[in-house]
Amino acid sequence: MASLMEMKEIFRSADAVCFDVDSTVIREEGIDELAKFCGVGDAVAEMTRRAMGGTVTFKAALTARLGLIRPSYEQVQKLISDNPPQLTPGIRELVSRLHQRGVQVFLVSGGFQSIVEHVALQLNIPTANVFANRLKFYFNGEYAGFDETQPTAESGGKGKVIAHLKEQFHFKKVVMIGDGATDMEACPPGDCFIGFGGNVIRKQVKEKAKWYITHFDELLKELEER
C-alpha cells in the first residue's frame, strides 16, 4: 500500500483525476434533492445514508429510492432550473488548475446524467467525460426506470469506469476523489483514493482513507508545490 507521501506524488503526476459528484463536487446529494422536490425527501434520505455507509448494494438502494420518487422528465428539468446544484468551494479553481496542467478530469457519479452534465458545463468538463446514471422516461414524460447497463448503476461500478478509462486512454496514474464507500472501492484499479469530507463526513471513509481532506485548497497547494 502506498504511503501518504507516495499518494501525494501520484496526485501531482496523475494523467487523470476522477471526481465523485454528490457531496463532493457539489454540496448536496442530487437524489435527495430530487426526492425533496418530489415530496418524499425524508424516506429517501434515510436510504441514501444506508447506501453511502456500504450496508446495502448500490443498485438495490438506487432501485428502491427511484421507486419511491418516480420523477417525471419535467420534474428533473424543473429541479435543475429552480434549484441548480451548488458547487463546493474550491472545486472550480482545482479543476481549472488540473486542466492547465493537461490533466484529464472526469465526473464519475452514481447520480443522474442530466444533473451531472449541468455541473460539468459549469466546470468546463466535456460531457464525454461524464459517467453517471441515465433515467428513462415514457413518451409522456413519466418515469420509466433507469438504465441498468450503466457501470455506475451498481456497486463497484466506479472501479469499472476507471478500468475502462485506463484501457481506452492508456492512463498510467488515475486518482479518485470522493466522499463515499463506492469511491474508496474504486482504488484499485484507481492508483490513489483521496477521501473528501468538506460537505459530509462518512465515518467509514474517514477512518479507512490514508489521505483525507476537508477542503479542495489542500489539493491546490499540493499542485503549487511542484
**Cβ-proximal residues to 176 (8 Å cutoff; 6+ apart), any chain:** 18, 20, 108, 158, 162, 183, 186, 187, 190, 192, 193, 194
Question: According to the model, what pLDDT value does residue 161 have?
Answer: 92
On the question of pLDDT at 51 being above 90, the answer is no
* Domain 32-80, CATH: 1.10.150.210
Is 22 catalytic? The answer is yes
On the question of pLDDT at 225 being above 80, the answer is no
Contact 196, 89 (CB under 8 A): no
Q: Active site residue: 15, 22, 42, 179, which one? A: 22
**Annotated domain spans of the chain:** 2-28+83-222, 32-80
Mean pLDDT over the full length of the chain: 87
Predicted confidence (pLDDT) per residue in 98-143, tens digit: 999 899 999 999 888 988 999 999 999 999 999 999 999 999 999 9
Is 191 catalytic? The answer is no
* Domain 2-28+83-222, CATH: 3.40.50.1000
Q: Tell me the pTM.
A: 0.88
Question: According to the model, what pLDDT value does residue 141 have?
Answer: 93
Q: Active site residue: 20, 32, 179, 191, which one? A: 20
Lowest mean pLDDT among 42-51, 62-71, 165-174: 42-51
